[in-house]
């Protein structure tokens, strides 16, 4: 499989884990020591480090899923990721850098569908046991409005 096809598959699987409500599978796309952040384009451009969501180990992602399950917010709505075509930026010493556009639709229990978020995944990936894993994913959201709505992983 080409690197591009690997990235297509990784992103499609990642999105499906969230959209199919298999949130427990979501941390498995990351390396154990990792970096995951959700922030806005404005904050990212200003170089502000703190994001809306922040984790630097896979365990923190596991914990986040546990609290989402407890809060039970997630169950009242469904999401549908629309993942763009991945762009490979570089591949050096086994580290792949890639960027991928995304949009997420939110489907409320009432049936209404709205655009929940859009943005860019800025990724660093490493190969662990022959599998491509995210060692860093910066989720850069286009809109400033995202913070008040945020519940699920993006």
Q: 102 Cβ partners below 8 Å, 6+ apart? A: 15, 81, 82, 83, 84, 117, 118, 119, 120, 121, 154
When the beta carbons of 4 and 48 are compared against a second copy, the nearer one is 4
Regarding 91 and contact with a second copy (CB under 8 A), the answer is: no
Question: Which two structure tokens, joined as six digits, stand for 82?
Answer: 């629309």
The binding track of 49-88 with respect to a second copy, each residue x by CB under 8 A or -, is -----------------------------x-xxxxxxxxx
Residue of the chain from 24, 56, 91, 114 that contacts a second copy (CB under 8 A): 114
β-bridge pairing 95-108 and 131-141? unpaired
The span of 24-32, 46-54, 99-107, 131-139 binding a second copy (CB under 8 A) equals 99-107
9: contact with a second copy by CB under 8 A: yes
CB of 16 to a second copy, least distance (A): 6
Considering only residues 125-154, where is the footprint of a second copy by CB under 8 A? Answer: 142-146
The answer to whether residue 38 forms part of the interface with a second copy (CB under 8 A) is no
Spatial distance between the Cα atoms of 128 and 134, rounded to a whole number of angstroms: 10
Among 1, 67, 93, 129, binds a second copy (CB under 8 A): 1
Chain residues binding a second copy by CB under 8 A are: 1-2, 4-5, 8-9, 11-13, 15-16, 19-20, 41, 78, 80-88, 99, 101, 103, 105, 107, 109-115, 118-120, 142-146
């Amino acid at each position: 499989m080409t690197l591009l096809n690997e990235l297509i598959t990784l992103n499609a699987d990642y999105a499906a884990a969230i959209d199919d409500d298999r949130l427990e599978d979501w941390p498995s796309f990351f390396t154990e020591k990792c970096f995951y952040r959700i922030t806005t384009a404005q904050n990212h451009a200003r170089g502000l480090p703190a994001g809306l969501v922040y984790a630097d180990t896979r365990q923190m992602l596991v914990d986040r899923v546990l609290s989402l399950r407890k809060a039970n917010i997630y169950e009242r709505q469904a999401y549908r990721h629309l993942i763009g075509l991945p762009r490979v930026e570089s591949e050096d010493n086994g580290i792949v850098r890639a960027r991928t556009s995304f949009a997420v639709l939110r489907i409320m229990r009432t049936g209404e569908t709205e655009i929940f978020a859009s943005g860019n995944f800025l990724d660093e990936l490493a190969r662990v046991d022959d599998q491509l894993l995210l060692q860093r994913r910066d989720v850069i959201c286009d809109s400033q409005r995202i913070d008040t709505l945020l519940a699920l992983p993006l």
